[in-house]
Structure 1
Amino acid sequence: MTPGRDLAAALLAAGPLLRVLPPPVRVRCADPATAAALARLCDRLDVPAPVPVAGAADLGSFERVLSGLLDLDANPAPPPADEARVVAEARERDFTRRFRRTDVRTGDGAVLPTYAAGDPQRPPVLMVSACGMPARLAEGWADRLSRDFHVLVPETRGLFADLDGFSGDTGVVAQAGDLLAVLDRFGLRRAHLIGLCGGAVLAVVAAARAPERVSSLSLWHGDFDLGDESPKTDHQQNLQALMAMAARSPQQAAAVHAVLTNTMLGVAPPRLAHLVTYPYATPELLRRYCRLNGAIMGTDLRPYLAGLTTRTLVVTSEDDHTAHPAGSRAVAARIGGSVLHVAGHGDHLSLFHAEESLVDLAARFVAGEVALGTRSPAEAGRRVPPVPTRGGEEVFP
């Protein structure tokens, strides 16, 4: 294996977080040669350089996340003579090279970095990821789907391209409208929407407000609110309460910043922590995120589900302790002809590991290979009888 290749790839993956954390950002590094080369390598990659420190330094939460990702003691920098080649190879393989970035400007001035891949002549799929997450968090999904579809992955308003002085609308209608703005920018009349976690809420709102623009809905471990029809997990209740506090003012955001950061780090899968903690990087970023995601978590979806007939797949699991599965069941029950898939295990964070069987299910649904049947609204959302497969996983006939 080429020395430095893993480090270059990790630095590119760390880029979104490194760009918003206030410097200096320290990372563990006991190897003097790697420490000496780190700034030079970051400069070539156009990534802010962290400061290497040896020994048992008292690192902060984000510094520990980045130290684990970069693992500088196991991933030495390349020799100077190989740097240019290693950097070029890392860039070529990186998400931002394989997915073309277009900045979409909305009617109220928000800027949405949107990443696209796949043949533009193929059916379009708009991936609505969890609020505030870098687009590369959905990389596994987008890579697989782009083999068969034209895939678009937008990032959240106010948290990426327009960080300075953002004062735009943070409600769900504006956020759902952003999805339509992306379709307009790419000249698309209709698209399949795949919503993950809070993105599932925005997908439903967009479909309700502009059903003619949505070919199908695929809703995965949605963070749904349907009043007394959808109980909340402890995680949802606690997070919603803390977000409400942080959204009130910059001072309140600063006061709860450490608590929310530690809450998210406590549940984040280690290899995704540098991405899922992005909106917690600073108190101001957190305040905006809490306004945006708090609006998503607190929106009663029932008015938007009324009369919705869009072809829909709803996915949850028996043991999702993050987003209560009862919410997904209630959503499926309110969409006539929808299909509900209940896996044995999983939650909205494990989704981003892009397990092959799950992403294949999404692709098959978009392609029309999952039959919906002709059930009445009262019957909608009932589980389709499983077909035995390897490991006993449920799939659709």
Structure 2
Amino acid sequence: MCLLELKSMTISTDAAMRLCETVRMLRHLAIHLPDPVCLSFLAQGDDPLPEQASPSVRATERAINAAFARIGVRAVQYLHGGEAQLSSFEFFISRKICQALDYRYDHFDDAEEAKAFGRLLKHFDFSGAVPEVETLHLTTRDNVSLSVHASIDRERPAIVLALPCGMPFDLCRDWFNALSERFFVVTWETRGLFGSCAAFDQVAVDTEAQVADLISVMNHYQLSTAHLMGICGGAVIALSAAAAHGNRVNSLSLWHGDYNLGDNDLRTAHQQNFEWLMEAAAYDRHEASDLQAMFLDQATLATTPEPIAHVVLYPYVNPELFYRYARLNDALNKTELASRLANITVPTLVVAGDADETTHIGGSRYIAASIDDAVLHVEQDGSHLAFFASTQYSKQTAFRFLEATLQPAVA
């Protein structure tokens, strides 16, 4: 084999690996789309679109089909030159697949390349599981199955991480990993939105039920106490848990919390719009279906941050998920917080960003001022997106606070 052929095969092998990694990343979206999932091959810049009937394109279709079949998607249809007909979710998936392939559709032409890809598919783990994270399904007292994730070292001080309501674990995986450097970290994905839940209408969706999930996770791991960390809507869950179960809580940290304090001056336009959307969609499935149709428009992607779109779009991907997401978030939005704040007596850190257009810094200021001895930390140029993107910077704030609470009191 000449050097040029070897280099070409290496490039194609790299593309095959990127394809598998991308399909794994997109699994939350793809498996919840209605059949068939429609895709298009896109061109880069002014390059011409690939020839629909070419052997290269057909080989690429077969490779993509095989990768999607590994996550349970078996009906894929290709609309060559028809990207305008794709839903926002299908267009996003198409774009990520094409980026993974470097907008080239000749990686799977060679018979040896095809065989190598087959071997890769056989052994590639599309589940998203990693050795350093234990994942299990926990059945709660009210018979709800929760998807739970835990780090390995159970001898370390424990942190229970309340994720943003309805968001996949993958959104906060970097934060989970960062905290796991020094702590035993456990978290769970929102009830009714992950795993099997055929009887959603019989499932409690209120804040107290979500707090009970947090306690169920603690009980499963036999954690008599833990540090609580809540992100966005998860801040309401962590805050409510600290108020109701103070004897189980060592400290509380609230990050870019989405608080409804009955004052629109403490709510961004995004929060006000989201509150309306969740309340309307929670009314019934018909209303949710009508509203979810808005998110099929590709214009949705213009306001969705690219680095986290594969996870934040998840609860919008079909009408049933959207309805469940709305029910759960509407309950959080309607949670009366003021009376709970006086019941929080543990060390508390409240973090907000001075450039956050998602949640209002004023809400965090109010929360911090209403909890005895709470500390407010404002991140410069901080925002929701920065929180998820700059874990290495923000984790130092978390570590300083947590380790200060672990220091023995000075007599």
TM-score where L is the length of structure 2: 0.83
Residue 36, structure 1, aligned to residue 62, structure 2: yes
Say which one has the larger Rg.
2
Residue 6, structure 1, aligned to residue 18, structure 2: yes
The whole-number CA distance in structure 2 between the counterparts of 1:80 and 1:215 is 55
Cα deviation per residue 1:318-372 (whole Å; 9 max; x = unaligned)?
222111111100111111121111122232243222431112322332232799x
- Partner residue, 1:267: 303
Q: How does 1:97-116 map to 2 (within 5 A)?
A: 97-116=131-150
- Residues 118 and 149 in structure 1, CA contact (< 8 A), matched pair in contact too: no
CA RMSD of superposed structures (Å):
2.6
- Residues 233 and 332 in structure 2, CA contact (< 8 A), matched pair in contact too: yes
Residue 67, structure 1, aligned to residue 94, structure 2: yes
Q: How does 1:158-237 map to 2 (within 5 A)?
A: 158-166=192-200, 167-228=202-263, 231-237=266-272
The whole-number CA distance in structure 2 between the counterparts of 1:299 and 1:116 is 28
- Between stretches 28-37 and 284-293, larger displacement belongs to 28-37
Residue 80, structure 1, aligned to residue 110, structure 2: no
- Which of 168, 173, 176 matches 1:139? 173
- Number of matched residues? 372
- Residues 316 and 328 in structure 1, CA contact (< 8 A), matched pair in contact too: yes
- Which of 329, 338, 361 matches 2:374? 338
The whole-number CA distance in structure 1 between the counterparts of 2:143 and 2:394 is 36
> What is the CA-CA distance between 1:258 and the residue it aligns to?
2.6
- Partner residue, 1:319: 355
Cα deviation per residue 1:76-120 (whole Å; 9 max; x = unaligned)?
666333235534775399445542211111111111101122311
The whole-number CA distance in structure 2 between the counterparts of 1:349 and 1:137 is 11
- Residues 91 and 97 in structure 1, CA contact (< 8 A), matched pair in contact too: no
The whole-number CA distance in structure 2 between the counterparts of 1:230 and 1:98 is 43
Cα deviation per residue 1:166-200 (whole Å; 9 max; x = unaligned)?
12111111111110011111221112111110000
> Residue 161 and residue 60 in structure 1: after superposition, are their counterparts in 2 closer, same or farther (change >3 A)?
same
- Partner residue, 2:71: 46
Which SS does the other structure have where 1:32 is aligned? Answer: helix
One-letter amino acid of the structure 1 residue matched with residue 267 of structure 2: K
- Partner residue, 1:252: 287
Q: How does 1:341-380 map to 2 (within 5 A)?
A: 341-368=377-404
The whole-number CA distance in structure 2 between the counterparts of 1:269 and 1:90 is 28
- Residues 118 and 148 in structure 1, CA contact (< 8 A), matched pair in contact too: no
- Between stretches 71-80 and 247-256, larger displacement belongs to 71-80
- Partner residue, 1:118: 152
TM-score where L is the length of structure 1: 0.86
- Partner residue, 1:22: 34
One-letter amino acid of the structure 1 residue matched with residue 73 of structure 2: P
Which SS does the other structure have where 1:368 is aligned? Answer: helix
- Between stretches 74-83 and 135-144, larger displacement belongs to 74-83
Q: Which runs of 5+ in 1 are unaligned?
A: 375-397
- Residues 87 and 296 in structure 2, CA contact (< 8 A), matched pair in contact too: no
Which SS does the other structure have where 2:404 is aligned? Answer: coil
One-letter amino acid of the structure 2 residue matched with residue 63 of structure 1: E
The whole-number CA distance in structure 1 between the counterparts of 2:286 and 2:234 is 28
> Residue 41 and residue 209 in structure 1: after superposition, are their counterparts in 2 closer, same or farther (change >3 A)?
same
> Residue 294 and residue 37 in structure 1: after superposition, are their counterparts in 2 closer, same or farther (change >3 A)?
same
- Between stretches 253-262 and 170-179, larger displacement belongs to 253-262
The whole-number CA distance in structure 2 between the counterparts of 1:280 and 1:237 is 18
Residue 310, structure 1, aligned to residue 357, structure 2: no
One-letter amino acid of the structure 2 residue matched with residue 67 of structure 1: S
The whole-number CA distance in structure 1 between the counterparts of 2:191 and 2:81 is 40
Which SS does the other structure have where 1:152 is aligned? Answer: strand
Percent pairwise identity: 35
The whole-number CA distance in structure 1 between the counterparts of 2:67 and 2:286 is 37
Q: Which runs of 5+ in 2 are unaligned?
A: 1-10, 42-49, 51-56
Which SS does the other structure have where 1:4 is aligned? Answer: helix
> What is the CA-CA distance between 1:294 and the residue it aligns to?
1.2
- Residues 140 and 354 in structure 1, CA contact (< 8 A), matched pair in contact too: no
The whole-number CA distance in structure 2 between the counterparts of 1:191 and 1:51 is 48
> Residue 168 and residue 266 in structure 1: after superposition, are their counterparts in 2 closer, same or farther (change >3 A)?
farther
